Chains A and B, each alone.
Chain A
Amino acid sequence: MSKNKNYWQANLKLMTICLVIWFVVSYLFGIILVEQLNHIRIGGYKLGFWFAQQGSIYTFVALIFFYANRMHKLDREHGVHEDDE
């Protein structure tokens, strides 16, 4: 039972980290702080605008891969993986 609990705790921790990053790049950088970030320019583009249009999406894709990868490892550590390779 505690083994399951450990697994779930690790799962929740990973999920929280990912969702915080998800929130920061989209809502915080892309919407709430966009005006402040727009004062910074990188390669001629306003940083806030860049986050709203591209930066957040790059981060999202990276997040999904990161989550899948870590979850795969976690499943193996706790012996709940489904594939037998």
Chain B
Amino acid sequence: MSLQTTTYLIVGLTFAIYIGIAIWARASTTKDFYVAGGSVHPVANGMATAADWMSAASFISMAGLIAFMGYGGSVFLMGWTGGYVLLAMLLAPYLRKFGKFTVPEFIGDRYYSKAARIVAVICLIIASVTYVIGQMKGIGVAFSRFLVIDYDVGLMIGMASSSSTRSSVA
């Protein structure tokens, strides 16, 4: 079996498993979607968060940024992990006690303000778009390399696989 066939086989199999899990464990309500019915062990939950941190954006895009920019790239590095500290101390415990699932929802209710909620949404969109650009570029490059296809096709495959797994996060 050639390397090419092996690669296709492994990638295909992985996708099949992901899609299978996605169908099997479909989250039916918002609560199920975010907290998986409260049945996820803290360690497993932490592992999921860690997997999020060690994504294509950190492995490929971040490494590239630092190789390219040198010291200037360290602001991304500090912000990346430094943000987790702020999240762990200032938001996560209260979000949990409040029983809300999204940060804008929490901020809007906590400060009794639609404006605060909108500001939170804008921040969220800016941050996640920046992140997703890095992520998608990384996925496209990775898939185009090891499936030996065009960058655009690789990106499509990557997006399809990630959206099918995202629907099964729960």
Give chain A's interface residues, CB within 8 Å of chain B: 15, 18-19, 22, 26, 30-31, 34, 49, 52-53, 56-57, 60-61, 63-64, 67-68, 71
Contacts and interface: CB of A to CB of B under 8 A. Distances in A.
A39 to B, nearest CB: 15
A49 B81 CA distance: 16
A71 B93 CA distance: 10
Interface in B73-100: 74-75, 77-78, 81-82, 84-86, 88-90, 93
A64 B84 contact: yes
Contacts of A68: 88
Main secondary structure of the interface of B (DSSP, over half): helix
A67 B86 CA distance: 11
B70 to A, nearest CB: 9
Contacts of B66: 53
Given A57-B78, A60-B81, A67 B89 contact: yes
A49 B78 CA distance: 12
B89 A19 contact: yes
Interface residues of B, number: 15
A30 B74 CA distance: 8
A64 B88 contact: yes
A57 B80 CA distance: 9
Nearest to B70: A49
A52 B74 contact: yes
The 3 closest A-B pairs by CB, nearest first: A52-B74, A60-B81, A26-B78
